[in-house]
A and B are shown apart, each in its own frame.
Chain A
Amino acid sequence: MSSEQPKGGANKSTPIPDNATVRAVDALDSRLGIYGAAKKNLRKVFPDHWSFMLGEVALYSFIVLLLTGVFLTLFFKPSMQEVVYDGSYVPLQGIHMSQAYASTLDISFDIRGGLAMRQIHHWAALIFVSSLFVHMFRIFFTGAFRKPREINWLFGFLLLVLAMVNGFTGYSLPDDLLSGTGLRIAEGVVLAIPLVGTYVQFFLFGGEFPGEDIVPRLFTIHVLLIPAIMVGLVTVHLILVFYQKHTQFPGPGKTEKNVVGLPLLPVYAAKAGGFFFIVFGITAALGGMVQINPIWAYGPYNPGQITAGSQPDWYIGFLEGSLRIMPNWEWNIWGHTLSFNVLIPSLIVPGVLFTFLAMYPWIEGWITGDKREHHLLDRPRNMPVRTGLGVAWIVCYGVLWVCGGNDIIATHFHLSINTITWVGRFAFFIAPVLAYLATVRICKGLQRRDRDKVLHGRETGVIKKLPHGEFVEIHEPLEAGVRHTLTAHEQPKPYELEPAEDENGVARKVKRSQKLRSRMSHWYFAEPIEKPTAEEYKELTSGHGHH
């Protein structure tokens, strides 16, 4: 098949219709040359796997966010001007509040479908960030971020960060007691920034907290600035997925040089397009049936008031937990205050966690020294160290997230809040290490099982008694396709330093980075579970068939 030919199995015998539609498209083509693009893309192949749908969930919930968000802007008034509420929610009538809060009440109680739209918007935001996380870890565990896709990993990472920031700005807009508390914490974090924190806070809030500027400013950031960047990033992300072609799992007929799947028109378009409606439909049903963020129950924001058990949206919870378990370290030096108790948990810990994620493709690329393109995915078990690191990251994030709810855990399970906090402090360091070690072991165990299956076949559960009385279980040899799938992965050898002296006995200079790299590479690839060789297989299968 040459690259000039349309590839999609379109048959030369498919007749070319001659009707008004075709003539209209002809007219368009003579101005824009669209047939060229259509030739390449209409029957483009997309590989199928359930996990490839996670990114779709993210994309579709983003579209739902844009649609419902536009509706909400038609009614929301991003103003902190004080008004007296006179809408139809009786408990708050006559209460002083900001216009932002009053208009959110109006959306919830006086605009038909407004509450549904608000709740769809909020649910879609939660689903959006969740699916971004899960999608990202699918990419991580299967090695889909490897060359040539590192740049797209970075775009995806930026989308995740922007999604979290925009989630925070979004739920801060209604100016209710809960969102105001979140803003107050953000104010405290900003104040802790060395040197410029106080100035940044006064510029951000237009003066003392809360001021009258923060909601309109967050509104512009939430509906204009960040969404515009995100739409751009999503577009580039998708173009790259399209242009670089989707990865695929190893299997019979699947190689690094091909892509196997169903054509965009009609199958993928129908499935992906249909899936958009499924995601939108489920989100809409949630918005109608499952209450979320009932701001009327919290009341308008007042910096002197709070409710116990205040919780942020789930994706901000890890920051909350990080702030909660941090010991109270603060330095006063030369008349200046350095609040490590705020700086470390809210800026340094998330900074390190997320920078590691963002840079991971380059870190792994450097350690393995692999400069080749990869289009076949790894099965997570075949890369135990990477999988272990991913699980350790998730556990680390998870510990922080759980600690963000330590008060809820304490009241629900009647435990001491102090004990939970101390357990969290230790768990933050210990749990990821344990998770890493356990994951590596499980991965290697699964590799051993694969090896066993390939060499000895599948256990049938049928027991045979041999003439001399021995009982054996019959093992059924695997199909050629399965054998291939289980042995298709590579097992690179660790990067070895060259001998300290070259062949002429002259000492070689070994850079420190080379030593580090050799050590890291050994850590990545040492003690592999060797996959079966053809000789082993033949030796076992040639003689007795039962073993």
Chain B
Amino acid sequence: MSSQDKSEVPEEHLPEVHASAHVPAEGDPFADPGLPAHEPRVTDIDEKAAKRAERQVAFLFVISMLSTIGFIWAYVGIDKHRIIDIFFFGKIGAQNLALGGFLGLALFCIGAGAIHWARTLMTDEEIVQERHEFTSDPETREYAIREFTQGAADSVIGRRPLIRRTMIGAMALVPLSGVVLLRDLGPLPGTKLRHTDWKPGTELINEATGLPIKPDDIVKGSLTMVLPDGLVEKYGPAGEKVELSHGWLEKAGMSAVLVVRLEPEDIKSKKELAWGYEGIVAYSKICTHVGCPIGLYEQQTHHLLCPCHQSTFDLADDGKVVFGPAARSLPQLKIHVNEAGNLAATQDFTEPVGASFWERG
């Protein structure tokens, strides 16, 4: 906003700033009558009341002291694992309740005491102080600008464009080092978002049992969470724990799959039927909206609902979006039954799973 701007508003459209209106204009019924006279409080005129207020403040401070002692007692005296059942609160950790309660009381009483003190015993007579405009007076302004202009002229920056330009260039370039330093924050994406841990022949492992899945294990109406072999905790033949493969969390975040059994005649898409096994179909569990795992299955409608943003997919129709903010169908995993009679992936997903990204295409 320049001074030119200022001139666009005719002065008469701006009301006068209320000048100090202590002296009412003759006969103006709305004039400022000035600060009302101070009215004394009970504690100002009655020493008994003042004494009572003093005792009340002291009482609050004493409660605070006792509460701090109570806090220390709770810290050393109450077993940290003790659970008590209190009316309204229900089952609650005794020590935590006592620590928070005592600390709260100790602090609150200091505050209540100080405020009660201020309201009853400290002065409540209002004081008037002046304000001063922030705009500097013209002399100060001129002086400052002249000083600056002189300083700038002394630097000869105006007369030496070569220095000016190279300096600006140097200053503009030097932050680049900082940007370059951030390069090693992480690897380049490459094609990592396009592949999951599913390979031709990878067995589908039930997340709950850690075992491969036979077609008969999948009953109609149930939803089975599945991961590729190596991402589920399981036990070897001798009962020893098999360690999870490195980076299993990242792989699980891409490769999580859910398996359902539908009536083959309910499946609307030929491709979906062909990619499943006798009505058993496997879909990516990662929502195509922003990547939440999807977990709410309506068996009557074959709809799958994402609990994060309610995108709804139709599992009987290529995983198409029927509602919500997701734009793309859930990717289907092509499966078959291998020689051991277990469900296995025929190939990796043929499109990226999860949230969209710029290079996805």
Chain A interface size band reads 35 or more
Is there a chain A Cβ closer than 8 Å to B307's Cβ? yes
Bound state CA distance, A207 and B253, in angstroms?
A: 12
Q: Which residues of B contact A514 (CB under 8 A)?
A: 8
Bound state CA distance, A119 and B30, in angstroms?
A: 53
Q: Which residues of A contact B18 (CB under 8 A)?
A: 255-256, 376, 488
Interface stretch, picked from A17-25, A126-134, A196-204, is A196-204
Is there a chain A Cβ closer than 8 Å to B65's Cβ? no
Those of B204-240 within 8 Å (CB) of chain A:
207, 225, 227, 233
Bound state CA distance, A254 and B128, in angstroms?
A: 9
Is there a chain A Cβ closer than 8 Å to B49's Cβ? no
A199 touches B96 (CB 8 A): no
A207 touches B187 (CB 8 A): yes
Is there a chain A Cβ closer than 8 Å to B178's Cβ? no
B27 touches A274 (CB 8 A): no
B356 touches A148 (CB 8 A): no
Q: Which residues of B contact A44 (CB under 8 A)?
A: 129
- Residue from A148, A188, A275, A376 in contact with B289 in the complex, judged by beta carbons closer than 8 Å: A188
Bound state CA distance, A534 and B26, in angstroms?
A: 11
B126 touches A328 (CB 8 A): no
- CB nearest to A80 among chain B residues: B249
B131 touches A256 (CB 8 A): yes
Bound state CA distance, A336 and B130, in angstroms?
A: 63
A324 touches B310 (CB 8 A): yes
- CB nearest to B244 among chain A residues: A96
- Residue from A205, A257, A306, A370 in contact with B292 in the complex, judged by beta carbons closer than 8 Å: A306
Q: Which residues of A contact B123 (CB under 8 A)?
A: 262-263, 267
- Residue from B8, B193, B305 in contact with A369 in the complex, judged by beta carbons closer than 8 Å: B8
Q: Which residues of A contact B296 (CB under 8 A)?
A: 308
Interface centre among A195, A211, A259, A274 (most CB of B within 10 A): A274
Q: Which residues of A contact B247 (CB under 8 A)?
A: 208
Q: Which residues of B contact A254 (CB under 8 A)?
A: 32
A271 touches B357 (CB 8 A): no
A481 touches B249 (CB 8 A): no
Q: Which residues of B contact A304 (CB under 8 A)?
A: 207, 225, 227, 252-253, 256, 285, 293
Is there a chain A Cβ closer than 8 Å to B154's Cβ? no
Q: Which residues of B contact A303 (CB under 8 A)?
A: 249-250, 252-253, 256, 286, 293
Bound state CA distance, A534 and B28, in angstroms?
A: 6
Interface stretch, picked from A161-169, A467-475, A491-499, is A491-499
CB distance from B307 to the nearest CB of A (A): 4
- Residue from B5, B130, B134, B249 in contact with A244 in the complex, judged by beta carbons closer than 8 Å: B134
The answer to whether residues A210 and B249 also contact, given A112-B99, A191-B356, A310-B308 and a CB cut-off of 8 A, is yes
List 28 A-B residue pairs with CB atoms under 8 Å apart, sorted by A's residue number.
Answer: A7-B127, A44-B129, A112-B80, A112-B99, A113-B75, A188-B289, A191-B291, A198-B357, A207-B186, A209-B291, A252-B35, A258-B131, A274-B111, A274-B115, A281-B103, A281-B110, A287-B100, A289-B92, A304-B285, A306-B307, A307-B307, A330-B327, A330-B328, A342-B289, A370-B14, A373-B133, A490-B15, A541-B29
Given A304-B227, A330-B356, A339-B355, 10 extra CB contacts under 8 A: A1-B129, A1-B130, A278-B107, A288-B98, A323-B289, A323-B290, A328-B325, A338-B358, A345-B325, A538-B27
